[in-house]
Amino acid sequence: MNRRFCLLLLWTVMVGLPAFAVGDEKKDEQVPAGLPDTTESAKLVQKMPKTISGTVFLGEKGLAGVRVTDGVDFVTTDVQGKYAITVKPDPLVPYLPSRTVSVCWPSETWPVQDRRTRRWQWWARLKDVKDPEKVDFHLVAREEKLPVCVAFGTDPHDALRRPHNRVFRDEVGRAGRHADFAVMGGDLGYLGFANAEKDYTAIEQFTNDFPVTMLHCIGNHDIVGIHSDWWKIPHELAGNGAFVKYLGPLRWSFDYAGIRFVGVDWSLIDEKGHLQCGMADSIVDWLEKDLASVPKGTPVYLFSHQWGDKRFFDVCEKHGVKLCLGGHSHRNMLIRRHGGTEYWTKMSLYTLLYVDRDGFEFVDRCVYKGGRNGWDGHWRHSHRACALYNNLDMQNKQRGEHVGLEDFTLDDNARSIKPVGGPTYDLRIGAWATGNKPAKRWGVRITAESGDICEIGYDEPAHMLDLMGRKTFFNPKIPLAEETDSDGPPWVEMRISVMPDRVRVRVNSRLHYQKFIDFGPARRIEVFSEGGKTEFGRVDLWQRTWPKDWNPRATANSG
Domains and CATH numbers, the chain: 142-365 (3.60.21.10), 397-548 (2.60.120.560)
pLDDT level of residue 458 (50, 70, 90 thresholds) = confident
Reported as type and span, the H/E element at residue 527 is strand 522-530
Q: CA–CA separation, 96 vs 452, rounded Å? A: 61
pLDDT, position 489: 57
pLDDT, position 508: 59
User: Residue by residue, what is the 3-state secondary structure of 138-199?
Assistant: EEEECCCCCCEEEEEECCCCCCCCCHHHHHHHHHHHHCCCCCCEEEECCCCCCCCCCCHHHH
Phi, psi of 457 (to 5 degrees): -120, 150
Q: CA–CA separation, 238 vs 240, rounded Å? A: 6
Please give the residue that has the higher pLDDT: either 352 or 481: 352
CA angle 234-240-242, nearest 5°?
80
Please give the residue that has the higher pLDDT: either 229 or 196: 196
- The pTM of this model reads 0.68
Amino acid making up residue 43: K
Among the residue ranges 51-55, 75-79, 223-227, 546-550, the one predicted with the least confidence is 546-550
Mean of all residue pLDDT scores within the chain: 77
For 26, counting Cβ atoms within 10 Å of its Cβ (0-12 exposed, 13-18 middle, 19+ buried), the class is: exposed
For range 32-40, the mean pLDDT: 80
Please give the residue that has the higher pLDDT: either 357 or 549: 357
Q: pLDDT tens digits for 323-346?
A: 999 998 877 777 788 888 989 888
Q: CA–CA separation, 124 vs 69, rounded Å? A: 11
HSE-up of 498 (CA within 13 Å, CB side)?
A: 29
For range 338-361, the mean pLDDT: 83
Q: Do 203 and 502 form a contact (C-beta atoms < 8 A)?
A: no
CA 343 to chain CA mean position, Å? 13
Please give the residue that has the higher pLDDT: either 133 or 497: 133
Q: pLDDT tens digits for 84-119?
A: 999 999 999 999 999 999 999 999 999 999 988 889
pLDDT level of residue 466 (50, 70, 90 thresholds) = very low
